[in-house]
Amino acid sequence: MTADALAPGDRVQLIDPKGRRHLIVLEPGRQFHTHQGIIEHDHLIGQPEGCVVQSTRGTAYLAFRPTLADFVLAMPRGAAVVYPKDAAMIIGYADVFPGAVVLEAGAGSGALTCWLLRAAGDRGKVISVERRPDFAMIARRNVTRFFGALPPTWRLVVGDLTEVTAAAPIRRVDRIVLDLLEPWACVPAVARLLVPGGLLCSYVATTTQLSRIVETLRSHGEFAEPVAFETLLRTWHVDGLAVRPDHRMIGHTGFLVLARRVADGVIPPPRRRRPAHGAHRLPESQPPGGEDG
């Protein structure tokens, strides 16, 4: 058996001719049952990654070790997971780099935690704060399952973020990721922890949450102008001359809001963009139609 061959204990993703995927953990003597027949684990053990295995009914399956994206979509969950398309944008646009110290609020099922740990690397550190003990337990299991052991660069804290940051000796951090129902309530508590030039990224699901976190960051006074966006993922059907978008796509999953911390004592210059008419409330003395009614 070569060093990179599939071995007992490896997670393997089996892909059938229709693109359906099944995630299994290899164990000697075990079988995987599908509607297309049975696959013997022993037929995979010792084979190179990317091999083909036949079921008892003659269906061919490709076998690969799963990517982190594959693992996230198949892992047990308590809270909803951050989808790979959003996790990739968080890692990229929040600029999570090797050696970064990252504070994550809302560990959920541990999906984003895995991405953050891998991006921060062996020299970095990820501090995850989760309010619910049951979610924290699921996150711990999933992170341990993916990495094979509890990463030494990870610290999981159960509690309310504002209380944890006030009581625990958390030093200043390079990046902050908020995956909370009310992230705006935590901005004053976490802003003091973020280094000048550091990035805060908030992941929210609704437009009302989006509006409130953006306005909170603007009014806080220690952040540059926030940037808000969402990512839509659409695959394409490509077969000879038949090239068209697939009928189904992963549309809205959440909004990302990014803002950079300015230096201590610095007041960011005010926005010069002209607001849309009616974007802000009119004084109570002024009728909705303006001065002329």
pLDDT along the chain (293 residues), means of 10: 84 93 94 92 95 94 95 87 94 97 94 97 96 95 94 95 77 93 93 94 96 96 95 93 90 94 86 70 53 43
Could you give the angle at the alpha carbon of 77 between the alpha carbons of 75 and 79, nearest 5°?
145
Q: Which burial class, exposed, middle or buried, applies to 199 when counting CB atoms under 10 A from its CB (0-12, 13-18, 19+)? A: buried
For position 171, what pLDDT does the model report?
Answer: 77
Q: Which burial class, exposed, middle or buried, applies to 160 when counting CB atoms under 10 A from its CB (0-12, 13-18, 19+)? A: middle
> Can you tell me the distance from the alpha carbon of 104 to that of 101, in angstroms, rounded to the nearest whole number?
10
Q: What is the pTM assigned to this prediction?
A: 0.86
| Structure tokens given for 33 | 């049952």
Return the closest-CA partner of residue 226 out of 185, 189, 254, 184.
Answer: 184
| Strand 125-130 versus strand 101-105 pairing type | parallel
> Can you tell me the distance from the alpha carbon of 195 to that of 173, in angstroms, rounded to the nearest whole number?
6
Query: Which residues make up each annotated binding site?
Result: 109-112, 130, 160, 179
For position 251, what pLDDT does the model report?
Answer: 85
For position 57, what pLDDT does the model report?
Answer: 93
> Can you tell me the distance from the alpha carbon of 161 to that of 141, in angstroms, rounded to the nearest whole number?
21
Query: Which residues make up each annotated binding site for S-adenosyl-L-methionine?
Result: 109-112, 130, 160, 179
Return the closest-CA partner of residue 129 out of 106, 112, 111.
Answer: 106
For position 275, what pLDDT does the model report?
Answer: 66
Can you tell me whether residue 123 is helix, strand or coil? coil
User: What Å distances lie between residue 65 and 69, 74, 116, CA to CA?
Assistant: 11, 13, 20
Helices first, then strands: H and E counts in the chain: 7, 15
> Can you tell me the distance from the alpha carbon of 155 to that of 171, in angstroms, rounded to the nearest whole number?
13
Place of tokens 């992170």: 143
| Structure tokens given for 190 | 């976490």
Give all domains of the chain, ordered by start, each with its CATH number. 11-66 (3.10.330.20), 70-260 (3.40.50.150)
E strand or H helix at 130: strand 125-130
Question: In this structure, which amino acid lies at residue 14?
Answer: L
